[in-house]
Amino acid sequence: MEVIDFNKTNSILNQFMSELRDVNIQKDQMRFRRNLERIGEIMALEVSKRLNYVTKEVQTPLGTAIESVPDENIVLATVFRAGLPFHQGFHNYFDHCENAFVSAYRKYLDEVNFDIHIEYLASPELEGKTLILVDPMLATGNSMYLAYRALLSKGTPSTIHLASVIAAQQGVDYVCKMFPDEKTTLWCAAIDPGLNSHAYIVPGLGDAGDLSFGQK
């Protein structure tokens, strides 16, 4: 699996990342959501460079232009609820795509241990399509994988793009092991070293769902 880490190249994305992580700036929920969305837009542009294209004749008011347009059936999938602003960023660019939604939540067994439960799935057919599965925080990788497993009930995609804003190294290693190697690409804006005892990414940014939408 190819892993692309945007943090290796300086761009304006680093400014958005520093605002997402900053304990004071992240208190502004609207800015927090918009920064997730802006990173989704930048990643969508990069993912779009890997798609297949077909040339098309376009009638302008003054003549005919030839344009290359994407030639893939894209399904953009996300995991509730933290994934919504990131999904919106991708959707702003892939506005012709189909959309899928999966719910995943942590059911705590005690103070620290939890299982991830998938309860809701709304997805079009996936057979032979390009799946872009976006989840801003790739911690253990388990919810990303369980979401994918749930989506497989709708068919097998031909190509898979996984996108995260911050991934823990452990999550990267897990998805590299669990997803089909030859057809999956993992896109991350940063890869952080660790997880704490509650499986939150360190240094990370905190709880992306709470910071986007308020505490549960």
* Residues near ligand URA (CB under 6 A): 82, 137, 139, 200-201, 204, 207-209
Could you tell me the smallest distance in angstroms from the CB atom of residue 5 to ligand URA? 17
If the CB atoms of residues 56 and 117 are measured against ligand URA, the closer one turns out to be 117
Phi then psi for 195, rounded to 5 degrees?
-130, 145
If the CB atoms of residues 40 and 209 are measured against ligand URA, the closer one turns out to be 209
What's the burial of 143, exposed, middle or buried (CB within 10 Å: 0-12/13-18/19+)?
buried
If the CB atoms of residues 136 and 157 are measured against ligand URA, the closer one turns out to be 136
Could you tell me the smallest distance in angstroms from the CB atom of residue 139 to ligand URA? 4
Integer CA distances (angstroms), 51 to 59, 66, 161, in order: 24, 18, 11
Could you tell me the smallest distance in angstroms from the CB atom of residue 149 to ligand URA? 18
Could you tell me the smallest distance in angstroms from the CB atom of residue 137 to ligand URA? 4
If the CB atoms of residues 97 and 211 are measured against ligand URA, the closer one turns out to be 211
If the CB atoms of residues 37 and 72 are measured against ligand URA, the closer one turns out to be 37
Could you tell me the smallest distance in angstroms from the CB atom of residue 110 to ligand URA? 18
191 contacts 167 by C-beta, under 8 angstroms: yes
CA 77 – CA 144 distance, rounded (Å): 11
CA 152 – CA 140 distance, rounded (Å): 20
Could you tell me the smallest distance in angstroms from the CB atom of residue 32 to ligand URA? 11
Phi then psi for 2, rounded to 5 degrees?
-85, 130
If the CB atoms of residues 106 and 183 are measured against ligand URA, the closer one turns out to be 106
CA 120 – CA 142 distance, rounded (Å): 16
- 3: how many CB neighbours lie within 10 A of its CB? 16
